[in-house]
Every structure is written in C-alpha cells, then in structure tokens.
Amino acid sequence: MMYDRSYFDQPISRIGTACEKWDGIQEEGKQDLLPMWVADMDFRCAKEITDAIKARAEHPVFGYTFETEAATQAMLGFMKRRHGVELTADEQIMMPCVITGLRTAVLTLTQPGDGVIVQPPVYGPFFASIRENDRRVVECPLIRQVDGGYRMDLDSVEEACKAGAKLMLFCNPHNPVGHAWSRDELTALWQILDKYGVYMVSDEIHQDFELVPGCVTSMLNIATEKDAKLCTLTSASKSFNLAGLQQAVLFTRNQQLKNDLAACMHRVGVVQGNIFAMTATEAAFAHGDNWLDALLDYLRGNEQYIRQELKARLPKIVLSPMNATYVGWMDMRAYGLTDEELTKRTHEAGVAFTGGPFFGEKAGSGFLRINFACPRSQVEEALRRLEKAFNA
Ligand SMILES: Cc1ncc(COP(=O)(O)O)c(C=O)c1O
C-alpha cells in the first residue's frame, strides 16, 4: 500500500485502550492533559501489520510458539536494506524489549560494584538498569554547544575506562538530544573502548528515525570484528509503533558474548515467543518500508513546524538542533523556573512533556522533552498550550 500525509493527519482516540500515554496520565486525574511525553506515536500502524495480525487471529489456537525463520530473515533483510548492516541468523537474540537487553548485558558483563558509563542527558532507564543491579553509574555527560547541540566528552570516557569501568551503555541516535552520531564520532569512541577492553551496548532503538536521510550509522558498521565487545539493541516496536506487543532484538557478531547473554536470559526464564509480536515483527520488517518512508516525511514536517513556531512565538525556548528521533529537547532555563514549576505550569496549561531530570538529575534539569510523533493538529494544540503556560 502507498501512504501519504493524510494517513498520519488523522487523529485517533486511544483513550480506553489501556494506553500508557493517554490513559496512564488520566488515571492520575489529569484528564485534560495532552500527552506529548512517552516515546510512543499517535498514528495508525501500517495496514500490512494489522492485516497480518488479523490473518493470524483467524486461526483459533494460540499455543506455544517459537521464533520463525521468516521473522528472522525479514529482520536481517531490513537491517541490510535500510542500514547497510550485514548479519547472519546466528548473530541475533530476540527478546521481549530493549530494556531486557540492557539489563541482561549489565548482569552478564559486570559484577556488583563495577562502573558502567553513561552519557547524560540520556534515556532514564539506563541509570535504573545499572543502579537496580547494584552497579555504579559513571557519568560522562555530553557537552552542550552554544547552538544547543551536543558533543561527546571523549576525555571523560577515557578517564572512566582508565579508572576501570567495565561497560558503556550508549545511545545512537541519542535520546533525548535527537542526535545521530557521525562515523567519525563513533570511530573515536570505539577506539577508546577497544583500547581498554570495555564492552559497549549500543541502544539503536531510534535507528529508523532519520530526519536527515542517511545520518544514522550503526555501531555494527564501525566495530566489524567478530570478537568486538559490542552488542546493539533495536526493535520493530519503536519504528512501527508496536511497543504493546513486546518484541526486540539484540545483535552481536561475538558468539561468546551472544552465548553468555543468552545463558543469562535462560537462567531467569526470559523467553520470547508471543505469536502476535512475531507476526507483527515479520510484517513490519518485510512490508513496512512504504509506511516508514511516509512517516519520516511527516515527522520532518512536524520538526520544522515546531522549530519555526518556537522561534516566532516562544523565542526563549532553545530547541536543540537535531537530525534524528521524534523527540525534541527544549531548554527552558531562560524562564528561571525549577523542574517542579515547569511541570506544574505546563500541566496547568493542559500539556504533558517529559521532564528533563528523567534523563539525568543534573544534565536534564531545566529541560523538557517534546514527543512530536502525532498528527499536526495535536502538535498545534500542544504549542498553543505551551504558549499559554509561558506567554500568558
Ligand atoms: C533509547 C531507548 N531505549 C529503550 C527504550 C525502551 O524500549 P523497550 O520498550 O523495547 O524496552 C526506549 C523507549 O522510549 C528508548 O527511547
């Protein structure tokens, strides 16, 4: 099927569907809040996916299942076609979600008390995956540039490696700053980790959201050796909005690493094997390209619209320059408010963003993250409410 912007323009009510993004905040008694927070899209998914799920539902038995060859091949084909990454079927492990992979890697590759490197501001569960497993968070914050963009602090990463860190949880493209790291940046980072024998988990769940075509490079195309201490994590769930189905994948060419990670998952009984998740994953990776391309055009339009409107109507807010993801990182510090005040003001005006401290207490303080993967009319309403919060 061919898709155009009218498909993504259609608002769709998700209220009453056990939807974390909409119902989750209503349950807290905030019915009028327009949700621009959790990274979940307010769009109909691809018809190819719903058709495949419906076809499978026609068969009335839903017993134990297994990972299908067709789903694996669809995934490998997608990685090659869209990301230029060549992998074989024995270089992947399917799992329920990306967080399963992050936590499994922390448990497998480090001991209690070991240091694990992160680069705040960064996706909050990175911190929890480390702390809740009694490992130490070693922060190597990104460095903010004058234009609101970010670069890595490679000196501090090297210091952390020298001081004995065992693992780095890396985000590419980076959530929340919306930056897909360049080949040069990735190569420089990898050279440091490799020199000190530090493992990397590269969370590439936002890999498909290229606002600038071709800007995303997978770490798998930087660290190509068979024994590289690297695994990457991704999923159809983010790219095709299937998070409620729970299906993700870990890639590594390092067979020892793969076996160790698989053994850890086995020990705690984490198995994947959800019939509908597997069906949807196969359909998305095999037949989702047209939907994804049209979605990307739509997201580019939303990002440009927000940038232009903020500049004109709320010039004190600095939206970081971005080339990837569908989340914008807004610097609100010019208002001189605390994080609690920022939340209160926006909620009172009827709009919910993700508060910056979720991405690191210090590096995220004074920021809000806006998720703009929703119909344009919803973005327009969110900006009206944001204006009400700060210009009233
Ligand atoms: C960088 C990053 N990693 C992981 C996740 C969560 O993925 P999953 O739902 O597969 O655990 C998200 C969700 O927003 C994310 O932004």
Question: Both ends of the chain: CA-CA distance in Å?
Answer: 45
Per-residue pLDDT averaged across 183-210, rounded?
A: 98
Residue 122 is predicted with a pLDDT of 98
Residue 121 pLDDT > 80 = yes
Confidence band, pLDDT 50/70/90 cuts, at residue 57? very high
**pLDDT at res. 47:** 98
Q: What's the pLDDT band for 27 if we cut at 50, 70, 90?
A: low
Whole-number Å distance, alpha carbon 204 to ligand 1 midpoint, is: 9
C-alpha span between 3 and 222 (Å, rounded): 34
Could you report the per-residue pLDDT of 303-322, keeping only the tens digit for each? 999 999 999 999 999 999 99
- pLDDT (mean) for 188-193: 98
- Substitution site in 205, 216, 234 for ligand 1 pocket (most atoms within 8 Å of beta carbon): 205
Q: Which residues line ligand 1 (CB under 6 A)?
A: 39, 97-99, 123, 171, 175, 203, 205, 235, 237, 243, 248
The preferred substitution site among 175, 233, 242, 274 for testing ligand 1, maximizing ligand atoms within 8 Å of CB, is 175
How far, in Å, from the CA of 127 to the mean position of ligand 1? 13
Q: Indicate which atom in ligand 1 lies nearest the CA of residue 122.
A: 1
Burial class (CB in 10 A: 0-12, 13-18, 19+), 308: exposed
Name the residue among 154, 121, 114 with its Cα closest to residue 138. 114
Lowest mean pLDDT among 14-23, 335-344, 370-379: 14-23
For the chain, domains (ranges, CATH) are: 5-47+289-391 (3.90.1150.10), 61-287 (3.40.640.10)
Confidence of residue 26 (pLDDT cuts 50, 70, 90): confident
Whether pLDDT at 30 is above 70: no
User: Is 103 a residue whose pLDDT tops 70?
Assistant: yes
In percent, the amount of the chain with pLDDT more than 70 equals: 98
Listed range (28-32, 170-174, 215-219, 226-230) with the worst mean pLDDT: 28-32
Region 51-67 average pLDDT: 96
In 3D space, the residue among 240, 275, 263 whose CA is nearest the CA of residue 66 turns out to be: 275
**How much is the mean pLDDT over the chain?**
96
Mean pLDDT to the nearest integer, 15-37: 85
Residue nearest to atom 5 of ligand 1 (CA): 98
| Sheet of strand 248-251: strand arrangement | 92-95, 248-251, 230-234, 199-203, 167-171, 115-118, 136-139
